[in-house]
Structure 1
Amino acid sequence: MINTPYKQLNNGANRLHPALQLLIFGAIFIGTLLICNVALIGVFGIKGIMDIASLNPSTPHLNNSLWVLQLVGTTLPIFVAPVFFAKVIVNDEHDYIKPGINFHWALLVLVFLLMFLSNPTIELLSNINLKMKLPHYLKGLEDWMKDSENSAQKITGIMLRMNTIWDMLLDLLLIGLLTAIVEEFMFRGVIQTIFVRWTHNVHAAVWITAILFSAFHMEFYGFLPRVLLGVLFGYFVAWSGSIWPAVWAHFINNGTDVVVTYLYQHKTISQNPDDQHLFNYIGYTFSAALLILLMLIYRKIALEKKPFPEADGEELD
Structure 2
Amino acid sequence: MKIYENKGLKETRAGFGDALTFLGRKNTKVVALCADLTSSLFMDQFSKEFPERFFQIGIAEANMINIAAGLSIGNYIPFAGTFANFATSRVYDQIRQSIAYSYKNVKICASHSGLTLGEDGATHQSLEDIGLMKMLPGMTVINTCDYNQTYAATLAIANYLGPVYLRFGRPSVPNFTNESQIFQIGKALLLTEGKDVTIVSTGHLVWESLEAAKILHEKKRISCEVINVHTIKPLDEKTILNSVDKTKCIVTAEEHNYWGGLGESIARILTTKRYSIPQSIVAVNDTFGESGKPIELLKKYKIDRDSIIDHVKILLKKKSNQEKK
TM-score of Structure 1 vs Structure 2, range by shorter chain: under 0.3
Q: Which has more strand, going by share of residues?
A: 2
Superposition TM-score, scaled by structure 1 size: 0.26
Q: Which has more helix, going by share of residues?
A: 1
Could you say which structure has the greater relative contact order, defined with CA pairs below 8 angstroms and 6 or more residues apart? 1
